[in-house]
Amino acid sequence: MVYPTPNCLNLTFTIPPLNTFTIKDIENFTGIKAHTIRIWEQRFQLFSARRKDTNHRIYDGEDLKTLLRIAYLYHHGIRISRIAALSDEEQNKLSLQLAAEGSSAGLQVNELIAATLDYDYFRFERVFYSQVLHLGFEHCITKIIYPFLEKIGVLWLTGNVIPAQEHFCSNIIRTKIMTAIDGQQMNQQATAHYLLFLPEGEFHEIPLLYAQYLLKKSGKLVTSFGANVPLADLEAFAPARPVTHIYTHLLTNVTQQVMNRFAATLSQQFPGIKILLSGPQSWQLTMPLPANVFVIKSLEELQAFS
């Protein structure tokens, strides 16, 4: 089944002029090697990078806009010589045509980035809801929102997204997932009770919220304490309400030693409860895992866990 592409999609967005990018940034955002970008710049004059005092190339928001559009077409099999011969309007038209014919994930991610940089709430909403209609809520989150957040994370790390922009998009996504959580009926007869939390210093709540949605939908009893939670708060709750599983998702960088100590502490404080650790930081555990500690590497694995 082919879904119509909403007419709100338009790649002619503007990016605040203060955003500047290195060629490595551009490589990360587009998936095009820096060497290839340099060749394109010289051969096809698609854009003209400025030079820093060190003679290194720097790119502005207009360059990023152009390269995101070009990368989208290129990754869909369009030869660069053909792309270079098209006007901006023709490139936009071809991008929309490709999106209508097949997967539009790359285009939608770029649209969400544009809406975030411009603080365009209504545009962000239109793209989000078009993808929920097209893919369903869960695939919208995993196929569109997660790749979008990954790119926003790179922009933030390189200083090209300010905290206000990150808060702008994150809050919209949080609201959507919380609404979906509320739409699921809690199974009061469930034998598995999951306690979800993020430890002190961890504030990346979107993966935790999505795990809460999936667990609740699959018939688990779920209690979430949210972000930045001291372990003492878990100790106060667990005896009052029987808990079978404790789940957390870790994104903030920590050392292996800190991660090992965290897993050991949870195991010791909650010896009769299964401890589920997910997220990139959990993958660096080096010690033999305690018997009640498990590393979860996918959402499917979390849903299947018993």
Contact indicator for 113, 151 with CB cutoff of 8 Å: yes
pLDDT tens digit sequence for 119-158: 999 999 999 999 999 999 999 999 999 888 877 765 664 4
Torsion angles phi and psi, residue 222, rounded to 5: -130, 130
- Convert the pLDDT of each residue in 92-104 to its tens digit: 788 767 655 655 5
Mark whether 169 and 209 lie in a shared domain. no
Same domain, 163 and 216: no
Q: Which residues of the chain have pLDDT under 50?
A: 1-18, 157-158
Domain assignment present for residue 191? The answer is yes
Q: Is residue 3 part of a domain?
A: no
Please provide residue 223's backbone torsions phi and psi, each rounded to the nearest 5 degrees.
-125, 130
Report residue 142 as tokens: 């995993």
Amino acid (one-letter) located at 212:
Q
Structural domain harbouring 205:
185-304
Q: Identify the pLDDT of residue 267.
A: 94
Is the same domain home to 33 and 175? Answer: yes
Residues 24 and 131 occupy one common structural domain: yes
Q: Residue 37 is part of a domain; what is its CATH number?
A: 1.10.1660.10
Same domain, 26 and 162: yes
Residue 88 lies in a domain: yes
245-249/193-196 β-pairing: parallel
Decide if 234 is inside a domain. yes
* 222, β-bridge pairs: 194
Q: Is residue 97 part of a domain?
A: yes
What pLDDT score does 68 carry? Answer: 78
Residue 199 sits in the same domain as residue 250: yes
Q: Are 232 and 282 part of one and the same domain? A: yes
**Pair (257, 130) in one structural domain:** no
**pLDDT recorded at residue 102:** 53
Do 169 and 267 share a domain, yes or no? Answer: no
Does residue 174 sit in the same domain as residue 189?
A: no
Residue that terminates a domain, selected from 150, 179, 208: 179
Please report, for the domain that includes residue 284, its CATH number.
Answer: 3.40.50.280
Residue 15 lies inside a defined structural domain of this protein: no
Among the listed residues 49, 50, 89, 84, the one whose alpha carbon sits nearest the alpha carbon of residue 70: 84
pLDDT at residue 184 in the model: 94
Residue 172 sits in the same domain as residue 210: no
Q: How far does CA 37 lie from the centroid of its chain?
A: 25
d(CA 19, CA 147): 21
pTM of the entire predicted model: 0.67
Same domain, 140 and 288: no
Last residue of a domain, one of 151, 179, 207: 179
In a domain, 127, yes or no: yes
What is the reported pLDDT for 31? 77
Boundary residue ending a domain (179, 213, 235): 179
- Domain tally for the chain? 2
Asked if residue 2 belongs to a domain, the reply is: no
* Spatial contact of 120 and 22, defined as CB atoms under 8 Å apart: no
- DSSP one-letter string for 64-97: HHHHHHHHHHHHTT--HHHHHTS-HHHHHHHHHH
Write the CB contacts of 268 (distance below 8 Å, at least 6 apart in sequence). none
Alpha carbon distance 247, 264 (integer Å): 14
